[in-house]
Amino acid sequence: MSAEDTHGSAEVAARVERRWATIAVIIVVGMALLAAFAGIHRATMPQPRVETTDPSRIHLSGEFVESNLGSVLEANGNVTVRAIGQQYSFTPACIVVPVDTPITLRATSADVVHGILIQGTNVNTMLVPGYISEQLMRFTRTGDYLMPCQEFCSFGHEGMWGKVEVIDKSDFADRAKGGGRLSCVGQ
């Protein structure tokens, strides 16, 4: 191989290297922008906001007492769902929400780490004792969605299931008329 050839291939190598370096930088910048976008829109964990709660007292007072769990229709038409996870169930075990409505899920754990996953949606959040998990959601079609616990939480984990029932907006409004907290437990 002549000196000129060696020089030529070194130039080719340098050019290829620069090209791939540029592609790598574009990928890294693109992923950083995606992460920033998701973070700004609170579409992913970790949450930009940390709220804490005392797991030994959630049954006694505050936002997560039993009488405050379930779905509530807010004055602005949005819905807030409050739930807790404990070994081995969710309360409420059946969550009822209206279709096509902005919903804020607020949940925590009474004992160990659990997870809430709603099948067929991007709702998937951990319930960590001492912390409140908040996730925005919206359902575009009515029906039943399974809600398994998706964090191993000891021997009863595989039996820890809940359900989300998405119903008509007007049906939900009817049921919410009397105020109070709605669920579909026992229906």
Residues that bind ligand CUA (CB under 6 A): 85, 88, 114, 149, 151-153, 157, 160
Distance (Å, whole) CA 136 – CA 107: 12
Residue 166: CB minimum distance to ligand CUA, A: 22
Residue 146: CB minimum distance to ligand CUA, A: 14
Residue 165: CB minimum distance to ligand CUA, A: 20
Question: Quick check: helix, strand or coil at residue 107?
Answer: strand
Contact partners, residue 49, CB within 8 Å, separation at least 6: 134
Cβ distance to ligand CUA smaller for residue 98 or 129: 129
Contact partners, residue 142, CB within 8 Å, separation at least 6: 99, 166, 167, 168
Residue 152: CB minimum distance to ligand CUA, A: 6
Cβ distance to ligand CUA smaller for residue 82 or 114: 114
Cβ distance to ligand CUA smaller for residue 151 or 165: 151
**Residue 45 vs residues 22, 35, 92, 120, 178: alpha-carbon distances, Å:** 30, 10, 23, 18, 35
Cβ distance to ligand CUA smaller for residue 76 or 155: 155
